[in-house]
Amino acid sequence: MVLQIWASFRALPGWVQVWVFLILVPVNVASLWFWTAPNGMLIAVLANGAMALNGPIMLMDRGFSKAMALPHVVIWTPLVIWLIWLLSSGQVGGIFAAYLWVLLVVDVVSLVFDFKDARDWLRGDRAVAGR
């Protein structure tokens, strides 16, 4: 099963592999560094919760499918709204605020793709990458 999931990941376009492995996952996981900051626990739970829910989807599909966009849409949309409010309110500053801007940009970019993939999955596109 692990080899099937890995083969599916490797079947994704190269830029998607780079995006996921070097940008999307690390930026969201970095939220754990700010766990104790104001609102840090909520941000870390939302940032990582969407990714954690992809584990069962990958196991069921034995690879990467558009169903993986669903947790992102459901959990990161409120996260993005919260980040916009938090950053615009002036309640955070310094390195934490800088990190939140990066997280906001990365998750908004991801959501652009995720909304399309979620729509496609809901319309019946159940393909798994590499199969």
Q: What is the mean pLDDT of residues 18-26?
A: 98
- The CB density around residue 80, as the number of other CB atoms within 10 Å, is 18
Cβ proximity of 86 and 100 under 8 Å = yes
Residue 127 to residues 1, 90, 119, 122, 130: CA-CA distances in angstroms? 17, 44, 13, 12, 9
Q: How confident is the model at residue 53 (pLDDT cuts 50, 70, 90)?
A: very high
Long-range contacts of 22-27 (CB under 8 A, 24+ apart): 23/106, 24/106, 24/110, 25/51, 27/102, 27/103, 27/106
pLDDT at residue 52, rounded to an integer = 96
Q: 102 falls in which pLDDT band (50, 70, 90)? A: very high
Query: pTM (2 decimals)?
Result: 0.94
